[in-house]
Amino acid sequence: MDLKKIFTPKVLVVTGIILFAALMRLVPHYPNFTPIAAIALFGGAHIGRKWLVFFVPLFALFISDLIIGFHGFMVPVYISFALVVLLGNLMRNNVKIATVLGGAMASSVIFFLITNFAVWAGSPYYPQTFSGLMQSYTMAIPFFHSSLLGDLFYSSVFFGGFYLLQQKYPAIAVIKS
C-alpha cells in the first residue's frame, strides 16, 4: 500500500480542517452552534476514499466526544452525521454555493428529525403518541435555529476556505483524494 496515494495533499488539508473543526467543539460556544454537521458535509464532499470519507469526520466527532462526554442518544447523533457524510458525498462533483447552502440546511433538518425522534422514542419526556412526537419536535425548535446558523456558518467557512486554498495551491485541488 502506497501511503502517498492515500495521503495526498488534498486529503491532508481536508483532514486538518476537519480535526481543527472538531477542536472547535471544545471551546466555549453558543449552544448548538457547532461545526459538526459542516465537518460531515465537507468531509463527504472532499474525501474520495470510501473508508476515509466516514472515518475522518466520525472519528473527529468521536475524539471530541471523548473529551466532552457521551450521552444516551449518541447512536442517533452518529447516524445523522453518517447520513450527512453521504449527503456531502452526493455533492462531490457539484460543489457550488447553492449546493453547499442546501446541503447545510438539509444537514440541520436531518439532525433535527433523527435526534428528536430518538428523544421521543427513547425517553419518558414525551408520550409515545403522534402528539408526543410533535411535542418533541416543537420543544426542539429553539435549538434548531442555532444548529442551522452554525451549519450555514461553518459550511461556508470550510467550503469557502478550501476553495480559496485550492486557488492559491492547485496541488490541493487534485481529484485523487
**Does 61 have pLDDT greater than 50?**
yes
Closest alpha carbon to 39 in 111, 137, 144: 111
- Are 48 and 176 in contact by the 8 Å Cβ rule? The answer is yes
Domain count, the chain: 1
Q: Which domain holds residue 88?
A: 3-173
**Does 171 have pLDDT greater than 80?**
no
What's the grid cell of residue 5? 496515494
Q: Report pLDDT digits (tens) over 62-85.
A: 888 888 888 888 899 999 999 999
Any idea what the CATH number is for the domain that residue 98 is in? 1.10.1760
Distance CA 155, CA 45 (A): 11
